């Protein structure tokens, strides 16, 4: 049938079918986009209702009205394009006055011209019309004046772009369609130029902006169901990894940000700490994955790090960025050197450990550089100096059990005999120093004395004896038991606890000289017996074992020299 043409344009295309059913993506966000017109190919129809363009389907069906009316004189067998003149009029003017056609609103004084209400001729020009026209409340697509039921595509009128299916506008259609200008979202039969969101076809879910698929959209884009990874306008459900937006870097799993994920995730720049779906660039510490435990700085595994790092379980040895659970040995950080067992610093360890620099004494897991004593391991007992085994040490060293003989830094339990040490002839039995005999009074006073060195001097002014002890507080061994001459009753030797404060080679007058003095309080000294002026062989008064001095403690010259050479400042001197 031939129909009058409308003053609207048309763009043609072929539509294909199919929407992907995924309610998770059927949401919209607000955005702006340009409007493009064209002919599209339909992909599928969903089942939602809405408006299209600037008007609804009702707008279209209600605004443009059919101009054909029946004159009541019977059908001519052709579709009426005007009004019937009662003679089976074909729609053309016979030139004999009024033809009965609807006036277009302009009178030329000669009656109706036979043109329709859109200002177009209803004759031959109608036969050339292609576009949309409403017929009996239904909108049809006409090709050269005839309803074209073979046409499926989009067509335009003054109200927008509309989806035509088998020649008829389908106001129930929802879906995607394309033309030479792009892919478009159709809602309720009309292109929804106001729509921003996601829609699907059989090829996937697509980003729609201003009703059109935006193939330039890339990044993370939200809807009410989450944030999605969009690449080339389409959600990439195959993507699992890290993606960035203006708020940071995020862990995407199956195309969607996983805000529940906390763990390690790689990209081309490294392995990253993700907390609640977001890369945590502020993280410094240790975390794990299925491969092991790792050290991170600024949220990224530091594969170049070797050292110690801490978490809530302790301090750990890191090798190549990874906790080394197989490591047992020594490791250093800014606080010192530490003993590590099974990769973890053992703060309960008190013993000996080694590295390439030597063997070291540990106290509470840390190298004790202040340790100068003896400690044992499975190989024996050893002498330490500055926290390190001194393999050059040959001599005697104390602990809480006594004083012991060492050779090459190791205690010699198998040795018994006499050794020379610091000018002493020392008797050794089973590696232990045998003390010289002293009185109970001197021994009891030594037992309670504390010294800042490994030496102690006790003098009994009544017994006229000076005993030198070696060891440590609470465990002293007598190594010299000397006869001495303290002060006479009128000039007694001072009594009490003192410390060695200085020394000198000699003092005296023009008539006498005293050699090798060691000072312990003011002018009170240990020194040699009295020699004639300047002599070390001519004795002026060599008496010992009686109270004769002016307050100093006199000793044989060789013993005075030994104390002068051996006893360090700070050594406790106890006189009673």
CATH of the domain at 413: 2.10.270
Whether the Cβ atoms of residue 142 and residue 151 lie closer than 8 Å to each other: no
345: left (phi over 0), alpha (psi -120 to 50) or beta: beta
DSSP-derived secondary structure letter, 70: -
User: Do both 445 and 401 map to the same domain?
Assistant: no
User: Do both 55 and 179 map to the same domain?
Assistant: yes
User: Do both 404 and 460 map to the same domain?
Assistant: no
Residue 99 lies in a domain: yes
User: Do both 387 and 478 map to the same domain?
Assistant: no
User: Do both 377 and 511 map to the same domain?
Assistant: no
CA dist 227 and 224 (Å) reads 8
Q: Which of 206, 239, 255 is the last residue before a domain boundary?
A: 206
Rounded to 10 degrees, the C-alpha dihedral 154/157/160/164 comes to -30
User: Do both 44 and 153 map to the same domain?
Assistant: yes
Residue 244 lies in a domain: no
The DSSP bridge partners found for residue 402 are 399
Q: Which of 206, 234, 258 is the last residue before a domain boundary?
A: 206
Residue 126 lies in a domain: yes
DSSP-derived secondary structure letter, 91: S
Amino acid 122: pLDDT? 43
Judged by DSSP in three states, 135 sits in strand
User: Do both 41 and 146 map to the same domain?
Assistant: yes
Which residues constitute the domain of residue 98? 23-206
Q: H or E stretch including 520?
A: strand 512-521
User: Do both 486 and 503 map to the same domain?
Assistant: yes
**Strands, E assignment, 29-174:** 41-42, 131-135, 138-143, 146-147, 153-157, 160-165, 168-169
User: Do both 189 and 89 map to the same domain?
Assistant: yes
Structure token pair of residue 530: 């009295």
Amino acid 68: pLDDT? 34
pTM for this model (two decimals): 0.60
Structure token pair of residue 454: 């490994």
User: Do both 146 and 130 map to the same domain?
Assistant: yes
Q: What is the CATH number of the domain that holds 515?
A: 2.40.440.10
Please give the backbone phi and psi of residue 31, each rounded to the nearest 5 degrees, phi first.
Answer: -160, 170
- pLDDT tens for the chain, residues 1 to 576: 333 333 333 333 323 333 333 333 333 333 323 333 333 333 333 333 333 333 333 332 333 233 333 333 333 333 333 344 434 444 344 434 443 344 434 444 344 433 333 333 443 446 789 999 999 999 999 999 999 999 998 999 999 999 999 999 999 999 998 888 899 999 999 999 999 999 999 999 999 999 999 999 999 999 999 999 999 999 999 999 999 999 999 999 999 999 999 999 999 999 999 999 999 999 999 999 999 999 999 999 999 999 999 999 999 999 999 999 999 999 999 999 999 999 999 999 999 999 999 999 999 999 999 998 899 999 999 999 999 999 999 998 888 888 899 999 999 999 999 998 877 888 999 999 998 888 888 988 998 999 999 999 999 999 999 999 999 898 899 999 999 999 999 999 999 999 999 999 999 999 999 999 999 999 999 999 999 999 999 999 999 999 999 999 999 999 999 999 999 999 999 999
User: Do both 41 and 96 map to the same domain?
Assistant: yes
Residue 539 lies in a domain: yes
Amino acid 402: pLDDT? 87
Across the chain, how many H-helices and E-strands are there? 4, 54
Measured in residues, the chain has a length of 576
Residue 321 lies in a domain: no
Query: How many domains are contained in the chain?
Result: 3
Please give the backbone phi and psi of residue 442, each rounded to the nearest 5 degrees, phi first.
Answer: -70, -45
Residue 422 lies in a domain: yes
Residue labelled with tokens 């009309």: 190
DSSP-derived secondary structure letter, 237: T
Residue 409 lies in a domain: yes
Q: Which of 434, 462, 486 is the last residue before a domain boundary?
A: 434
Residue 30 lies in a domain: yes
User: Do both 449 and 422 map to the same domain?
Assistant: no
């Amino acid at each position: 049938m031939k129909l009058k043409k409308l003053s609207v344009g048309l763009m043609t295309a072929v539509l294909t079918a199919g929407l992907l059913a995924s309610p998770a993506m059927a949401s919209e966000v607000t955005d702006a986009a340009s409007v493009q017109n064209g002919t599209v190919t339909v992909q599928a129809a969903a089942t939602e209702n809405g408006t299209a363009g600037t008007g609804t389907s009702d707008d279209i069906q209600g605004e443009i009205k059919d101009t054909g009316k029946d004159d009541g004189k019977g059908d001519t067998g052709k579709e009426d394009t005007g009004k019937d003149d009662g003679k089976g009029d074909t729609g053309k003017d016979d030139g004999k006055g009024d033809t009965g056609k609807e006036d277009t609103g302009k009178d030329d004084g000669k009656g109706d011209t036979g043109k329709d209400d859109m200002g177009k001729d209803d004759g031959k020009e109608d036969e050339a019309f292609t576009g949309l026209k409403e017929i009996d409340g239904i909108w049809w697509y006409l090709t050269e004046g005839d309803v074209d039921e073979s046409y499926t595509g989009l067509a335009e009128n003054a109200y927008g772009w509309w989806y035509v299916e088998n020649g008829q506008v389908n106001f129930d259609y929802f879906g995607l369609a394309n033309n030479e200008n792009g892919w478009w979202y159709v809602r309720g039969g009309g292109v929804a130029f106001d729509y921003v969101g996601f829609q699907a076809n059989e090829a996937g879910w697509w980003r729609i902006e201003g009703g059109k698929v935006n193939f330039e959209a890339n990044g993370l884009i939200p809807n009410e169901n989450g944030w999605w990874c969009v690449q080339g306008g389409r959600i990439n459900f195959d993507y699992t990894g890290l993606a960035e937006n203006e708020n940071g870097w995020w862990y995407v799993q199956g195309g969607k940000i996983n805000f529940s994920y906390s763990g390690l995730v790689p990209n081309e720049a490294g392995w990253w700490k993700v907390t609640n779906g977001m890369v945590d660039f502020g993280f410094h510490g240790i975390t794990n994955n299925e491969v092991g435990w790792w050290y991170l700085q600024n949220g990224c595994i530091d594969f170049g790090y070797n050292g110690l790092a801490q978490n809530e379980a302790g301090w750990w040895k890191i090798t190549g960025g990874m906790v080394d659970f197989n490591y047992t040995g020594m490791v250093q950080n800014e606080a010192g050197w530490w003993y590590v067992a099974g990769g973890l610093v053992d703060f309960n360890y008190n013993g000996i450990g080694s590295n390439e620099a030597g063997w070291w004494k540990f106290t509470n897991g840390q190298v004790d550089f202040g340790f100068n004593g003896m400690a044992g391991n499975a190989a024996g007992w050893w002498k330490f100096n500055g926290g390190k085994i001194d393999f050059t040490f040959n001599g005697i060293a104390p602990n809480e059990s006594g004083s012991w003989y060492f050779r090459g830094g190791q205690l010699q339990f198998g040795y018994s005999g006499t050794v020379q040490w610091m000018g002493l002839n020392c008797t050794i039995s089973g590696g232990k120093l045998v003390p010289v005999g002293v009185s109970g009074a001197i021994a009891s006073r030594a037992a309670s004395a504390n010294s800042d060195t490994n030496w102690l001097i006790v003098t009994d002014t009544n017994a006229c004896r000076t005993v030198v002890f070696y060891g440590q507080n609470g465990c002293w061994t007598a190594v010299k038991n000397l006869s001495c001459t303290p002060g006479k009753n009128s000039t007694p030797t001072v009594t009490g606890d003192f410390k060695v404060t200085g020394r000198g080679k000699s003092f005296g007058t023009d008539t006498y000289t005293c050699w090798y003095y060691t000072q312990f309080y003011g002018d009170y000294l240990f020194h040699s017996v009295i020699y004639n002026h300047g002599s070390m062989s001519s004795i002026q008064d060599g008496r010992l074992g009686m109270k004769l001095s002016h307050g100093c403690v006199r000793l044989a010259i060789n013993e005075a020299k030994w104390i002068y050479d051996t006893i360090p400042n700070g050594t406790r001197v106890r006189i009673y």
